[in-house]
Amino acid sequence: MPPKGKPQLTDEEVAILNLWVKNNASLDTDIVELPENDSLRILATNRLYPSGNSPISFDFSAADKATVEKLNNDYRVIYPIAQGSPALAVNIYNKAIFTSASLEELQAIQKQIISLNLNHLPVKDDDLKLISQFEQLRNLQLNFTQITGEGLSDLTALKHLKNLSLSGTQVSYNYIKQMINLMNIKQLTLWNTSLTSSEINQLQKENKNTAIIGGFKDDGKHPVKLSPPRLAENFGVFTETMDLEVKHPINGVQIRYTIDGSEPDSLKSPIYEKHIEIKDNTIFRAKAYKDGWYGSDAIALNFYQSRFKPDSVALRFPPHPSYRGEEEKTLTDHSLGDQNTNTDKWLAFKEHHLEAILFFNKPINLQSITLHMLQQTPSAIFPPEHIEIWGGTDKDNLKLLGTTKPKIPKKDDADSLIALETTFNKQPAGCIKIIAKNLKKLPNWHHKKGEPAWVFIDEVLIN
C-alpha cells in the first residue's frame, strides 16, 4: 500500500484488487473475457472508461495472446486500441525488409485488426487484395506508398472502413471516384496526390457525407508549424562510417543541422543536401524551415561507433527475470533502447552486478569501451558505482586496463540515456571482461534509501 502522506487507493481501487485476488490474480485474462455481469469486469470497465468516455464495443472476441506476441517484432508493432479491448492496431516499419509476407502473416488476427498503418512502405496495388481480408478494418493509412489506384476497388469489401489516407501516392481522380461511390468512408485524405483542387472539390460536392482532405494551401498567409525532420532509417550504432539520410514529407523544406552539439538555426547552420557521413560518435541536431511556415522543433539524435563485435559473450550472473532482453545478444546487437524499460532492448541487474566476458577469435586493437545505459532516478535506475575493464589474450590472462567512477545523480536530475566511456592505451585483446558494480545503497534523499540501485544496460560499444 502507498506510504503515509502519499496518495492512497480509492475504495473502488481496493475493491478491484480484492476481486482480482479472489479471481486467482490472473495476469493472463483480459477484462473482456469475463462475463458481462461479472463484478470485476463492471468495476474495471468503469475505471478504464469513465463516464462520457465509454469504450467502443465490438462483436468479435480477442485474439490469442501468444499469437499476437509472436507476430510482434522490431518492424511490426501490434497493440490493443484501449485497455481491455479486443480490437487491435498494427504499425509496420522498415521499408527495406517489407514484403507482402508482412501482411500475410497477419491473417491469424485479421478479424481483430481495426487500424493498419503502412505509411512510407513499398505497398503495391496487389497488396490491397490481402488488406481487403481484414474485415473489421476501420482505419487504413497508405500515405507515400506505391499505390496507383488500380487495386482500390478491392477495398470495397471493407464494410467498416471509415478513414482512408492516400497522401503522397499516385492515385488518380477516376480510381478515387469509382471507389468512393461504393463505400461509406467518413474521411479520405488526398494531400500531395495528382488530383487537382477542382477534382477534389468535385469529389467533395458529390460525396457530402465524406470529409475529403486535400491538404494545406501554402499561400504564406496562414503560417503552420512544420513537423521535425525524420531519418530515412532508424539506427544508432555503426561500425566504420555511416551515411545519415534525413527526409521531410513536405516539398521545398530546407533542413538545417549541426553535429557539434549546438542548436541549429535558419541562417548559419549547414544545409542538408543528400547525406551526411558520420565517422565518430556524433550528436546530430536538425530543424526544418520553409518560407511561410514556422520552423520545426529540433530533433537530437546520438550515433555511436562500435568498430568491433565479439564472436561470443558470456554473463557471470543472469539479468533480472523481468528485464532479460535477449540475454547476452542484447549487449552487442547494435540496437539501442529508449526510456521505455518494458522492451527487449534492456538487461537489468540489482541483486548481482553486471559482469560480462567478450571473446574474439582474432585479437583486436582495443582502446576504449563504452557502456550505453539508462538513468531514471525515481525508478532507482542509477549509473554503476564503479566500472572496470580487463583485457588480455584469453580469460586466464587478463589485466586491468582502466576504471571509471561515474557521477552519482542528484535528486532532480532528469531521466536520460548515458554513454559511460573508459579509455586506455591501445593494445591487442582476444578477451575482454567488463564489471559494472551497481550502487549498493540508494542516497538518503531517495524514497527507497538504503536499498540497492538498478543498473540497466543495452549496448557495449567497442573501439
Task: Specify the pLDDT at position 405.
Answer: 96
> Residues 188-220: pLDDT tens digits?
888 778 888 888 888 888 988 888 877 555 555
Confidence of residue 404 (pLDDT cuts 50, 70, 90): very high
Task: Specify the pLDDT at position 53.
Answer: 47
Task: Specify the pLDDT at position 141.
Answer: 92
Identify the burial level of 37 via C-beta atoms within 10 angstroms of its C-beta, where 0-12 means exposed, 13-18 middle and 19 or more buried: exposed
> Residues 31-77: pLDDT tens digits?
666 665 566 666 666 555 444 444 567 888 889 888 988 898 878 88
Residue 429, C-alpha cell as written in the block: 585483446
> Residues 108-154: pLDDT tens digits?
999 999 999 998 899 999 999 999 999 999 999 998 899 998 889 89
Task: Specify the pLDDT at position 411.
Answer: 87
pLDDT of 362 strictly over 90 = yes
422 closest CA partner among 394, 401, 438 = 401
To the nearest whole number, what is the mean pLDDT of the chain?
86
Q: When comparing pLDDT for 38 and 405, which is higher?
A: 405
Greatest mean pLDDT range, 21-30, 82-91, 383-392: 383-392
Residue 351, C-alpha cell as written in the block: 541483486
Give CA torsion, residues 321, 325, 326, 328, to 10 deg: -80
pLDDT of 316 strictly over 90 = yes
Q: How many CB atoms lie within 10 A of CB 425?
A: 8
Residue 189 DSSP SS3: strand
Q: How far apart are CA 223 and CA 211, in angstroms?
A: 23
> Residues 215-243: pLDDT tens digits?
555 555 546 678 888 887 767 899 999 88
Task: Specify the pLDDT at position 5.
Answer: 47
Lowest mean pLDDT among 6-10, 25-29, 225-229: 6-10
pTM as predicted = 0.55
Task: Specify the pLDDT at position 252.
Answer: 85
Confidence of residue 97 (pLDDT cuts 50, 70, 90): confident
Which residues are within 8 A (CB) of 156 and not within 5 positions of it... i.e. 6 or more apart? Answer: 179, 182, 183
C-alpha R_g of the chain? 27
Range 252-280 average pLDDT: 90
Task: Specify the pLDDT at position 17.
Answer: 80
316 closest CA partner among 253, 358, 267 = 358
pLDDT of 297 strictly over 50 = yes
Q: How far apart are CA 386 and CA 390, in angstroms?
A: 13
Q: How far apart are CA 266 and CA 228, in angstroms?
A: 14
Q: Which letter, b or e, does each residue of 300-334 get, where b requires 16 or more Cβ atoms within 10 Å of its Cβ?
A: eeebbbbebbbeebebeeebbeebebeebebbbbe
Confidence of residue 342 (pLDDT cuts 50, 70, 90): confident
Q: How far apart are CA 374 and CA 353, in angstroms?
A: 15
